[in-house]
Amino acid sequence: NLTAGELRLERAKSDVQLVKSYSQLKEALQEVRKSSGMENEDVEELVSDVCEEMELANSDALTEAIYNSDAIDEDELYEELRMLELKCEKISPSPRKSEVNTDEQVDFPSSEEVVNAPTESPADEKPQKSTAEPKSAPLPRS
């Protein structure tokens, strides 16, 4: 019982301190409100204006997104893709798997042709410039 009484006393002291803190907080907030010159109506109006502007900005963004999506003509885009594909096929025709004739034999050079093919000697080759940075000598220790 004595312990429970002590706990209640400590809690009562904490509650008194808490009430004093709330009172000081209220006074500080009132002072800030008075010194800023803003009333509740002013703050509510400001918040309302900000919300309204945000809604307008969102509706403008939505309108722009809808407008831009209508501006894309998918048929025209597909036709442009087909033209580019045809252009690429004309530049570098590559057979498709279905077009490859597997009955044809590939004519590779004979080993004799490969051995007798002219080659450049290492002396004929031009020296290549190295892109690696030169290594610096280690610094002398003192």
Which one has a higher pLDDT value, 104 or 113?
Answer: 113
**Is the pLDDT reported for residue 47 higher than 80?**
yes
Render pLDDT for 16-30 as a digit per residue (tens, 0 to 9): 999 999 999 999 988
**Is the pLDDT reported for residue 66 higher than 70?**
no
CA separation for the pair 43, 33 (Å, rounded): 10
Q: Is the pTM of this model over 0.85?
A: no
Question: What pLDDT is recorded for position 29?
Answer: 87
Question: What pLDDT is recorded for position 142?
Answer: 53
pLDDT band at 135 (very low <50, low <70, confident <90, very high): low
Q: Which amino acid is at 103?
A: D
CA separation for the pair 96, 98 (Å, rounded): 5
Q: Which amino acid is at 108?
A: F
Q: The tokens of 68 are what?
A: 């831009």
Question: What pLDDT is recorded for position 133?
Answer: 55
pLDDT band at 137 (very low <50, low <70, confident <90, very high): low
Who's near 91: CB < 8 A, 6+ residues apart? none
Tell me the mean pLDDT in the region 38-62: 83
DSSP at 121: -
Tell me the mean pLDDT in the region 32-42: 80
**Is the pLDDT reported for residue 12 higher than 90?**
yes
Q: Among 43, 46, 18, which residue's Cα sits nearest to residue 32?
A: 43
Distance of CA 26 to the CA centre of its chain: 45
